[in-house]
Amino acid sequence: MEIIVERCLRFGEKAGEILLSLKPDPFTDPRYYPPLNEDDESVARYFLVMVAMDHRLSRPGRPYEAVLEDGLHHGADLLYRLGARMYAEDKGFFDPARLAEIGVEDVSRWLTPPGRPELKPVDVELRAMLLRDLGLKIMKLYDGSVSKLINESGGMLKDEGRGLVDRLKALTAYSDPVEKKPYLLAKFLERRGLFRAKDKWNKEVPVDNHLTRIALRLGLVEPPSWMKHMIIGGRPFSWEDDAMLRLAVRKAYKISAMHAGLDPFILDDFLWMFGRKCCVYEAEGAACSSGCSDECSRIGGCIKGKCVFADICPSAHLEEKYREHLFLDTWYY
C-alpha cells in the first residue's frame, strides 16, 4: 500500500481553500440531535448510543430512507432523526441501566421507520448486543455515567490507554482497529462543548466508506494490484484487508491536514458531505461525470459547474472510477 505524498499535499492545499468558507456544524439541530441547554450527561449518552449505531443501515438495493412528518430522510440522517425522536419522547431510553437490558424488539421498533417494516435493520440482533455491552460496561466501569468516562480521559484522545479513544475501545461497538466511531464521537462531543482535545496532534478523520472511496479516486492511496482487483471485481474484503486500506487512507488525510494546517474533524465534515452529495457511490453519478447538482454546489463541492478537485483528481476524466470496496458485515462504520 503506497501513500502518494505529493497528491496528499496538493489535496490538503485545495481542501484548505474550501474550508475557509465552511462553517462547522455545531450538531444542535433538534431534528437530529439534543437541542441546546440540555444537561451534559443526557447529551453525552445520546451521542454515545447514536455513534454506536452509526454503521451500515443501507445495503445494496435497499437504501435506508423514509418520508417522515418533516420530509425525506436517508441513511445517517434517518438514523439520527429517529434517535432525536426517541430522545424527545423518552430520554431515559439512553440510560446505561436501560441499555444493559435492551431487547431485540426494542431496537427493532426504534430503528424501523414508521410504515416501512421492510427497513428493519438486517443486523438488529447485533445492534441489541452492542447496546447491552455498552450499557453494562458503562455501569460497571463508570458507575453509569458517560460524563465520568469523558472526564477521566483528562482531555486527552490518547494517553497510554487512558485517553478518550483508548477508553472507548473497551466498548465492543467502538472496537474498530481504525477507530472510526471513537473519533466520530470525539468530534460530536467537542462541538457540543463536552470534550476538548489537549492532544490535537492525535486527531484523525473518522474513516468510513465515503472517505475511503474519495481517497482512492483522488489517488491519495495506491493499493497493491491484488487489492485493486478485489475492489474492481466486487470481491468481499476481510477485516484485515479493510483495516489495512483504511489505515492507509487515514494516514493520507493526516498528511494532507498537517501540511495545510487543517483540523481533521473539520476536514471530515466536508469530506463526509462531499462523499454523499458530490463524489457519490455510483461512479456515473459523481459530479465530474454527471455534472454538478444543486446540493453539491451548496456544500462547496462544485464551483462554476465544475468539481473543486477536478484539476488534481486523476479519476476526474476516467470513465472507470473506483467504487466502494466491499465490506458490508461490520459494525465498524
Q: Residue 177, Cα to own-chain centre: how many angstroms?
A: 14
Indicate whether 45 and 144 sit together in one domain.
Answer: yes
Residue 267: per-residue pLDDT? 98
Verify that 126 and 210 share a domain, yes or no: no
Are the C-beta atoms of residues 130 and 173 closer than 8 Å to each other? yes
- C-alpha to C-alpha distance for 83 and 50, rounded to whole angstroms: 7
Q: Are residues 140 and 217 in the same domain?
A: no
- Name the least confident of 8-12, 28-32, 232-236: 232-236
How far is the CA of 9 from the CAs of 247, 260, 261, in angstroms? 18, 8, 11
- Residue with cell string 485493486: 228
Domain harbouring 249, CATH code = 1.10.1670
Is residue 317 pLDDT above 90, yes or no?
A: no
pLDDT, tens digit (0-9, with 9 covering 90-100), for 56-90: 999 988 999 999 999 999 999 999 999 999 999 99
| Domain-embedded: residue 72 | yes
**Rg of the chain over all Cα atoms, to the nearest angstrom:** 19
Specify the pTM.
0.96
Is the same domain home to 81 and 133?
yes
pLDDT in tens, 257-305: 999 999 999 999 999 999 999 999 888 889 998 889 999 999 999 998 9
Q: What is the pLDDT of residues 143-196, one digit of tens each?
A: 999 999 999 999 999 999 999 999 999 999 999 999 999 999 999 999 999 999
Q: Are residues 8 and 60 in the same domain?
A: no
Of 26, 15, 29, residue with least CA distance to 300: 15
Note whether residue 315 is domain-resident.
Answer: no
Q: Are residues 71 and 132 in the same domain?
A: yes
| Same domain (yes/no): 145, 208 | no
- Domain of residue 92 covers 40-152
* pLDDT at position 21: 85
d(CA 81, CA 111) in angstroms, rounded, equals 10
pLDDT recorded at residue 281: 87
Residues 137 and 87 in one domain: yes
The structural domain count of the chain equals: 2
214 shares a domain with 146: no
